[in-house]
Amino acid sequence: MIANNPRTLFEKIWDQHVVHEEPGKQTILYIDLHLIHEVTSPQAFEGLRLAGRALRRPDKTVGTQDHNVPTTDRSLPILDDVARQQIDTLRNNCKEFGVKLYDLDSPNQGIVHVIGPELGLTQPGMTIVCGDSHTSTHGAFGALAFGIGTSEVEHVMATQTLAQIKPQSYEIRINGSLGRGVTSKDLILYLIGQISTAGGTGHVIEYTGQAVRELSMEERMTVCNMSIEAGARAGMIAPDQTTFDYIRGREFGPADFAAAVERWKTLPSDPDATYDRVDIFEADDIAPQITWGTNPGQVTSINSTVPNPEDFADPTERQSAANALKYMDLSAGTPMTNVLIDRVFIGSCTNSRIEDLRVAADMVRGRTISDRVSAMVVPGSGIIKQQAEAEGLDRIFLDAGFEWREAGCSMCLGMNPDQLKPGERCASTSNRNFEGRQGRGSRTHLVSPEMAAAAAIAGHFVDVRDWD
Amino acid sequence: MQPFTQHTGRVATMDRSNVDTDQIIPKQFLKRIERTGFGEFLFYDWRYHPDGTLNSDFELNQPCFRDATILVARKNFGNGSSREHAVWALDDYGIRCVIAESFADIFYNNCSKNGLLPIVLPASHVQTIHERTASGEGYELGIDLQAQSVKDKQGLTATFEIDPFRKQCLLEGLDHISLTLAHADKISQFEKTNGHWLGD
């Protein structure tokens, strides 16, 4: 009996959702929640129409507009015809297929991975998918959540299931507590630096250990969010009292909350459960992190220097580092704190939640951003924007010289007009520093909200542990 | 889906690891609501200068790679975003097969939903292909999915792994949704039995 064997959190959720399996075939897995947005859904809806298929469970499908939306005045028309057509298409598709949509005029509109948890849609034990790689965010609640392509979006729409090969399990344990000035963003950037951007390929990571248990839900979401940057299929954290407290009272939380908590308490990995792979790290080893290259694994400590490509043993890594330094216009040996910046972006599904905005506001309160910097804050959702304004955070940012925008993915991927100019260097709280990610020729350094805020004031990167 | 059975074609090499989906199809082209016509935007920021002229330094712009249908890179090809547009762009450009030492999971999955074959080969074979492509124009590989083999005319014979279900779907060009809908009764049964857990 499989139920008697010790199982991991991942295995329990997997087993619970198996609809059908047979030798030589992929497992058909039930999907509890399908989140959709304007960029990866239009071709899937069109596929349903062409095949004359219905959307099986509109009640388990929720949409929002986030990737391609303007973050400026929403009462003005969208000038980009192609962008506007994509946004209109999601609106029309949701209407035609009966899907709940948090549209541009909804107070709940926001980044799909921010509003799912915020609305209480994201719950422990669920399977959650979305046509977006950062769906791994929802794993922070002890859900199995992963990104899918548009063909699979269509598959979920038509069947409310996915055919999957079971991934391997991977425990990453972090002993001890994170130090002062070291955030969950630094934790995940450090881990990616250690295991590489392909380190988690084919695996579902479960983050465990004291440092993880001590994180808030917002911080856990930041960690799980960037599991995909470690190459993992998904990232998860076992639900606990922190999780239950976050969900309690949210709009789409369970009707019988007490009963749900009892179920959720059965989810954490059994004490004797084994993982296919285990890595153990010490929180003491982690300093605030900053990327220097063009993938999230090219990362170092803020009190360190730009690495020398010659120090990389692997020839491909060496070439990759040399290419990255050329693209980033950085010289080996330069202290990271000497690197001057032009722009600051605080936002994205990684770091745009209320806690992120609070800590960033604390850094800039009563100060003014550097003359050489232009900076913007893009809240993750309309609700977060409202809450921040109720707390006066918008005033703190505006007084310091930041722009204060409407919710969306914005400059994380620069699909909308929020982009860097060629050669501009940005301290960004987002998740990817790929070439051209924030605009052609743009140079992105991934950091925590604290580090981004401090850099905005100083005009260069600073070690937030030295910030008074 | 277009089936993939056997294919012989010219090879283009990209001596790079971690080629991400932002490079394969930059974000400015994700606003389109169609599934076709992405080929002209493939690797756009690498393929073209900012003024729109061809970047002759970029691998795929080499005259010897113009007719390539097999793309060979290094490690962790297709990492990053889940955008299936990356696969649509490769397919529309004319690529039938990508060979690398490893792939990112979502990209690998997306390939096999579009009749484009992703092949993982050991580093030594990938190195051989890179060297042989560099040493003579018109280097070709022959790929046989049924046999799970990659061969050239100079004696290279490599075999690759692929999960049997994915292989069958690619060989026969099967529609994944129809295959799953054959189990529609089981899905309904699952929903009835697990309603309490699913919040129904």
What pLDDT score does A24 carry? 83
Chain A residues in contact with B84 (beta carbon < 8 A) = 40, 43, 131, 149-151
Q: Where are the domains of chain B?
A: 6-173
Quick check: A2 pLDDT over 60?
Answer: no
Over residues B44-50, the mean pLDDT reads 97
Min CA distance, B9 vs chain A (Å)?
26
Handedness of CA B29, A162, A235, A37 (dihedral sign): positive
Q: What does the block give as tokens for A349?
A: 């599904």
Average pLDDT, chain B: 95
ipTM (interface pTM): 0.96
Interface of B with A in 69-98 (CB under 8 A): 74-76, 79-84, 87
Tell me the pLDDT of chain A averaged across its residues.
Answer: 97
For the cut 60, the answer to whether the pLDDT of residue A260 exceeds it is: yes
Q: Which of B17, B82, B165 sits opposite A24 (nearest CB)?
A: B165
**According to the model, what pLDDT value does residue A468 have?**
73
- Which residue from B minimizes the CA distance to A256? B199
pLDDT at A1: 44
> Per residue in A154-165, pLDDT tens?
999 999 999 999
B200/chain A closest Cα distance in angstroms: 10
Q: How many helices (H) and strands (E) does chain A have?
A: 15, 19
Give the model's pLDDT for residue A4. Answer: 72
A154–B180 C-beta distance less than 8 A: no
The residues facing B12 across adjacent strands are: B71
The residue-averaged pLDDT of B75-101 equals: 97
Q: What mean pLDDT is predicted for residues A339-349? A: 98
| Pure H helices in A333-416 | 354-364, 382-390, 393-400
Residues of A in contact with B177 (CB under 8 A): 51, 53, 154-155, 158-159
Contact B52/A at CB under 8 A: no
pLDDT level of residue B137 (50, 70, 90 thresholds): confident
Which pLDDT tens digit goes with each residue over A43-80?
999 999 999 999 999 999 999 999 999 999 998 989 89
The mean per-residue pLDDT over the stretch B59-78 comes to 96
Q: Quick check: A196 and A231 in contact, CB under 8 A?
A: yes
CATH number 3.20.19.10 is the correct assignment for the domain at B6-173:
yes
For residue A171, list its beta bridge partners.
Answer: A206, A278
Q: Where are the alpha helices (DSSP H) in chain B?
A: 21-24, 44-47, 85-93, 105-112, 123-135, 164-172, 176-181, 184-193, 195-198
Taking CB atoms and an 8 Å limit, are A440 and B26 in contact across chains?
yes
Cα A288 to Cα A222, A344, A446: the distances in Å are 15, 17, 11
Q: Check residue A85 and give its pLDDT.
A: 96
Tens digits of residue pLDDT in A407-450 = 999 999 999 999 999 999 999 999 999 999 999 999 999 999 99
- Assess whether pLDDT exceeds 90 at residue A467: no
Cβ separation of A149 and B82 shorter than 8 Å? yes
pLDDT of residue B194: 86
Residue A208 has pLDDT above 90, yes or no: yes
Mean pLDDT across B31-38: 95
| The pLDDT of residue A419 | 96
Each residue of A382-405: pLDDT tens digit?
A: 999 999 999 999 999 999 999 999
Instruction: Give residue B136's pLDDT.
Output: 81
User: Is 60 exceeded by the pLDDT of residue B200?
Assistant: no
Range B58-73 average pLDDT? 96
- pLDDT of B197 reads 63
